[in-house]
Amino acid sequence: MQALTSSGAVVVGFDRSERSRRAVRWAAAEAASQHRPLLLVHVLNWPADHHPKALLPGEETLLGPLQRMLQRELDELTADCRSEVDLEVRSALPLGDPAEVLGRLALDAAELVLGGPLLGRESGVLGSTAADLLARRGGAPLVVVRQKADRRISGSAPVVVGIDGSQASPPVIGFAFDFASRHRCPVRAVHTWSDLPRELLDRMRNWELSGDELMNDARAVLDSSLAGWVQRYPDVEVHCVVTPEKPAQTLLEASGDARLLVVGSHGRGRVHRTFLGSVSHAAVTRAPCPVAVVRTS
């Protein structure tokens, strides 16, 4: 059997839910805009945690029909994607742990796309597979497609990007500008005072900076972070937002009319750098639009 590869592809996880079907449609459009192949993956997490070669007696009679049913469903999705956009589409039905399999594929993929948690009562609950993948270091940007089925966006809906001015910002900003250029939409760059470098925050606590000075420093951090990207993408219109409000709430409010919210995966401090940052976690569990989490560690 040929090894499953994802090199350069947009990989989308499919679990038969309606939200994962929306993720497939989103991923197909994204792959077409990048002129990349699309790989549809349904990871069959067979109840017995073992390799198919070690199936227990009688399990073959259950596994075979299930695999054929799922493959037919993947084939239908593949045909639907090909009929809507002109791109190369493949599908795969590996056995294993979904987070482990998708995590390996993400190492060589261009993007990994998943359906997001439900909105409403379950808006704060993230599936275990997505949560596990988000906590991993390295790999392709992870896009969580979370939005209501009837949500409509305008042609001018922006890409919102959170910028903290750290050395981890460039890949986050680059992803946002590249997406905006391909989809012909503006960028809304958001920077909050609480994301200022630590030395400036220390000065503020010691009353060495006035409010106006702090605002000017915040604008300077944002301007410096965007330097070069505006020149590289002259077709992208940029709107800047600088505010003293908390990062997570500011980004959620700024993304109300957005087509995509882009954040980094890192947090601040020794503990937060080990796990998904609090801003990223808030985004993927509460944002009204798809969220791209770009690896920054």
* Confidence band of 275 (pLDDT split at 50, 70, 90): very low
Mean pLDDT of 260-280: 63
Higher pLDDT, 48 or 203: 203
pLDDT value for 269: 36
Per-residue pLDDT band for 190 (boundaries 50, 70, 90) equals very high
Give me the long-range contacts of 165-170 (CB less than 8 A, separation at least 24): 165/191, 165/195, 165/196, 165/197, 165/221, 165/222, 165/224, 165/225, 166/197, 166/266, 168/264, 168/266, 168/296, 168/297, 169/225, 169/264, 169/296
pLDDT of res. 123: 43
pLDDT number for residue 159: 98
Q: Phi and psi dihedrals of 162, rounded to 5? A: -90, 125
pLDDT at residue 284 in the model? 87
Mean pLDDT of 112-132: 61
Q: In terms of domains, do 157 and 288 share one?
A: yes
Q: Do 1 and 145 sit in the same domain of this protein?
A: yes
Whether residues 121 and 3 fall in one domain: yes
Q: What letter represents residue 121's amino acid?
A: R
* pLDDT mean over 48-52: 46
- Select the more confidently predicted residue: 195 or 72: 72
Q: How many domains does the chain have?
A: 2
Q: Which of 114, 133, 150 is the last residue of a domain?
A: 150
Task: Let me know if 1 is exposed, middle or buried by CB neighbors in 10 A (0-12, 13-18, 19+).
Answer: exposed
Work out whether the CA dihedral 268, 272, 276, 278 comes out positive or negative. Answer: negative
| pLDDT exceeds 60 at position 267 | no
pLDDT at 165 over 80: yes
Pair (175, 122) in one structural domain: no
77, 14 Cβ separation under 8 angstroms = yes
> Residue 246 is part of a domain; what is its CATH number?
3.40.50.12370
Residue 271 pLDDT exceeds 50: no
Looking at the DSSP assignment, which residues form a beta bridge with residue 262? 161, 292
Q: What tens digit of pLDDT does each residue of 219-233 get?
A: 898 999 999 999 999
Mark whether 119 and 27 lie in a shared domain: yes
Same domain, 180 and 87: no
Rounded to an integer, what distance in angstroms lies between the CA atom of residue 278 and that of residue 41?
Answer: 29
- The pLDDT tens digits of the residues spanning 51-81 come to 444 554 555 567 788 889 999 999 999 999 9
- Residue ending a domain, among 150, 174, 195, is 150
pTM: 0.83
State both tokens at 245. Answer: 């409000």
Owning domain of residue 254: 151-296
Indicate if 132 and 85 belong to the same structural domain.
Answer: yes
Summary mean pLDDT of the chain: 81
Burial of 156 per CB tally in 10 Å (0-12, 13-18, 19+): exposed
Are 138 and 166 members of one domain?
no
Indicate if 116 and 212 belong to the same structural domain: no
Among the ranges 102-106, 209-213, 276-280, which has the highest mean pLDDT value?
A: 102-106
